[in-house]
Amino acid sequence: MNNFLDPAILFFVFGAFAGLIKSNLEIPQPIARFLSLYLLMALGLKGGFALQKSGFTQEIGLALGLAIFLAIIIPIIAYALLRTRLNNYDSAAIAATYGSVSAVTFITATQFLSNQDIPYGGHMAAAMALMESPAIILAIVLANKARVSSTSKAQSIGLSKVLHESFTDGAQLLLLGSMAVGMLSGEDGQRIMAPFSIDLFKGMLAFFLLDMGLMAAKNFSGIKGKPLIVLLYALVAPLVHAGIALVLCTLLKLPLGDTILLMVLAASASYIAVPAVLRHALPEVNPALYMGMSLGITFPFNIILGIPLYSFAAQLLR
């Protein structure tokens, strides 16, 4: 209940309401883009400052390794399941969407942990960056395989372009670059940047979630008329993926905060990085399908109910 009454979450709900009643309320795209970049920079700085204090330990290595493993295994499982009901292209697109991650969901989860006084490692920002690309690459490989075996004349999409777009994405570079700045500047940098990266963070997140609520309401219609498995997957997959992460984190005895964040990352679905790549790499798929699932259903579920639920489950097993 405390999470639902958080101002940032309430602004998301308000934005979704405004979108559903078809209000003309909107956040100009340049401002929304700035807010997104601000949140990534602030998160990267926080992570860099924390890493400068803790250093690179075996525990951090385990967490990062597990993040990469989850980013590989989740889209493989998703594709194998979805292709029993959907065509190969739709299955690959959805697998990429749910195998990748949502930075805003992650950022919201870090704020939730801060509100609950649950510590987490600064390296988790790096874990998020590492989880963004593997699913996209796997999806393109699967789609190219389908094209080769198809009788159509569609050409396979070269992996080199996909790899370049995945690893030079501006948002991802900003996150990693900010982490590097935080690590290099240390405590002095943290003190100087505190008014920017800490004091403004909550308000900026609330403003951005207002825009995300508006977008979620607009994208919900993207799943109308789709097979029932699409709706079920958008609701059930986050719980299953978070459960897989919880089991693995428990076996590896990772700290509570890191466990919750890995559960959130596993449960989230991309609605920025993946659509940007798939529009060119998988033209056979209507973006309304995976955008409607990730932004219309999974994102609101995770923001409102998922994050506190994953936290409760992780604490229950402690």
| pLDDT value of residue 106 | 93
| pLDDT value of residue 4 | 61
Question: Under a CB-based contact definition with an 8 Å cutoff, are residues 71 and 134 in contact?
Answer: yes
Please enumerate in sequence order all residues whose Cβ is within 8 A of that of 19, keeping only pairs 6 or more positions apart, or say none: 213, 214, 215, 216, 217, 218
* pLDDT tens-place string over residues 146-191: 666 665 444 555 556 656 655 666 766 787 888 889 889 988 998 9
Count CB atoms within 10 A of the CB of residue 42: 21
| CA trace torsion 44, 48, 50, 51 (10° rounding) | 130
What does the pLDDT profile of the chain (318 residues) look like in tens digits?
556 678 888 898 899 899 889 899 988 989 988 988 888 888 888 888 888 877 778 888 999 999 999 999 999 999 999 988 888 888 988 999 999 899 889 999 999 999 899 999 888 988 888 888 788 788 777 777 766 666 544 455 555 665 665 566 676 678 788 888 988 998 899 899 988 888 888 888 889 889 888 888 887 776 777 778 888 999 999 999 999 999 999 999 999 999 999 999 999 998 877 776 777 777 778 777 888 899 889 999 999 999 999 999 999 987
Alpha-carbon distance 143 to 133, whole Å?
A: 16
Count CB atoms within 10 A of the CB of residue 1: 5
| pLDDT value of residue 153 | 45
Alpha-carbon distance 294 to 220, whole Å?
A: 9
Chain center to CA of 184: 26
Predicted TM-score (pTM) of the model is 0.83
Alpha-carbon distance 305 to 2, whole Å?
A: 11
Helices marked H in the chain: 7-20, 29-54, 58-82, 88-99, 103-115, 124-130, 134-149, 159-167, 170-194, 201-219, 228-252, 256-267, 273-281, 287-293, 299-301, 307-316
The residue assigned the tokens 């100087």 is 192
Alpha-carbon distance 298 to 306, whole Å?
A: 9
Alpha-carbon distance 283 to 262, whole Å?
A: 31
The CATH number assigned to the domain with range 7-316 reads: 1.20.1530.20
| pLDDT value of residue 151 | 52
Question: Under a CB-based contact definition with an 8 Å cutoff, are residues 106 and 301 in contact?
Answer: no
Q: What Rg do the C-alpha atoms of the chain give, in angstroms?
A: 19
Please enumerate in sequence order all residues whose Cβ is within 8 A of that of 291, keeping only pairs 6 or more positions apart, or say none: 219, 222, 271, 275
Alpha-carbon distance 263 to 101, whole Å?
A: 11
For the chain, the domains span 7-316
